[in-house]
């Protein structure tokens, strides 16, 4: 077992101790913290996928194909394209974070 030391301000340390008592152990608290964030990221990815599918239906092109064209400068800078690319980039970032958790 490895030990990790975290310096906390007194009020935060008190909260942390309270949460450890509620969960029964530091390990379980940490596991629940990670589980919560994994589920939050999965929900974000699903919401973004729903938005991406709306653009795909509207423009009749898959997001990955759109994004390649957008990145190559083959499309204009319409607001929809900027939003679509931004949502896709956020989704890629969220998927990357999820893979690390």
Has residue 72 got a pLDDT over 80? yes
Domain residue extents for the chain: 34-100
Continuous H helices in the chain = 10-23, 26-59, 63-71, 79-100
Instruction: Please tell me the distance from the alpha carbon of residue 80 to that of residue 59, in angstroms, as a whole number.
Output: 10
Instruction: Please tell me the distance from the alpha carbon of residue 50 to that of residue 44, in angstroms, as a whole number.
Output: 10
Confidence of residue 98 (pLDDT cuts 50, 70, 90): very high
pLDDT given for residue 91 in this prediction: 98
Instruction: Please tell me the distance from the alpha carbon of residue 92 to that of residue 15, in angstroms, as a whole number.
Output: 34
Instruction: Please tell me the distance from the alpha carbon of residue 50 to that of residue 84, in angstroms, as a whole number.
Output: 11
How many Cβ atoms from other residues are within 10 Å of residue 39's Cβ? 10
pLDDT digits (tens, 9 = 90+) for 29-53: 999 999 999 999 999 999 999 999 9
pLDDT given for residue 88 in this prediction: 98
Instruction: Please tell me the distance from the alpha carbon of residue 45 to that of residue 9, in angstroms, as a whole number.
Output: 34
């Amino acid at each position: 077992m490895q030990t990790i030391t975290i310096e906390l301000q007194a009020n935060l340390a008190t909260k942390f101790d309270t949460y450890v008592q509620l969960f029964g152990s530091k390990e379980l608290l940490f596991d629940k913290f990670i589980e919560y964030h994994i589920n939050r990221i999965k929900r974000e990815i699903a919401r973004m996928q729903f938005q991406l599918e709306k653009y795909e239906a509207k423009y009749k092109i898959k997001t990955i194909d759109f994004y390649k064209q957008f990145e190559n400068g083959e499309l204009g800078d319409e607001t929809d394209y900027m939003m679509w690319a931004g949502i896709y980039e956020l989704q890629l970032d969220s998927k990357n974070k999820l893979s690390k958790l």
